[in-house]
Amino acid sequence: METIDFKKRGGLVPVIAQDSQTRAVLMLAYADDAALQQTIETGIATYYSTSRNELWVKGATSGNTQIIREIYADCDSDALIYVVEQNGIGACHTGSATCFFNKIS
């Protein structure tokens, strides 16, 4: 496995979730080493909640799970992409398919 640089940003790396079918960007979240390890072990996207300061399994309460299809690290090993099968109504807590729906002109 690629060595991920968790030290650069204080123990966290940004994670983009991308739809495996449409390639749409679904959301941005963060992972620490434990979240990444749990994601790899379970095959379900797990993040680190910066607001609650704890691991967050996507869909554990909402049912909007993200099944991991692939994981990529960037060239500096300090950011990740989870390519996922999005289940449920969408990735966003607002009920939208993606968190990126606010267009700035």
Domain residues for the domain of 79 are 13-86
Instruction: Output the domain CATH number for residue 68.
Output: 3.10.20.810
Give a yes or no: residue 100 inside a domain: no
List the end-to-end C-alpha distance of the chain, in Å, as a whole number: 40
What's this model's pTM, rounded to 2 decimal places? 0.92
Give SS3 for 43.
coil
Tally of domains within the chain: 1
Give a yes or no: residue 5 inside a domain: no
Give a yes or no: residue 19 inside a domain: yes
pLDDT digits (tens, 9 = 90+) for 63-82: 999 999 999 999 999 999 99
Give a yes or no: residue 8 inside a domain: no
In the predicted model, is pLDDT for residue 1 greater than 60? no
Rounded average pLDDT over 21-31: 97
CA-CA distance, 71 to 53, in Å (whole number)? 23
Give a yes or no: residue 28 inside a domain: yes
The residues near 97 (Cβ < 8 Å, ≥ 6 apart) are 24, 26, 86, 89, 90, 91
Give SS3 for 94.
coil
Give a yes or no: residue 56 inside a domain: yes
- Is-contact 51 20, C-beta < 8 A? no
Give residue 2's pLDDT band: very low, low, confident or very high (50, 70, 90).
low
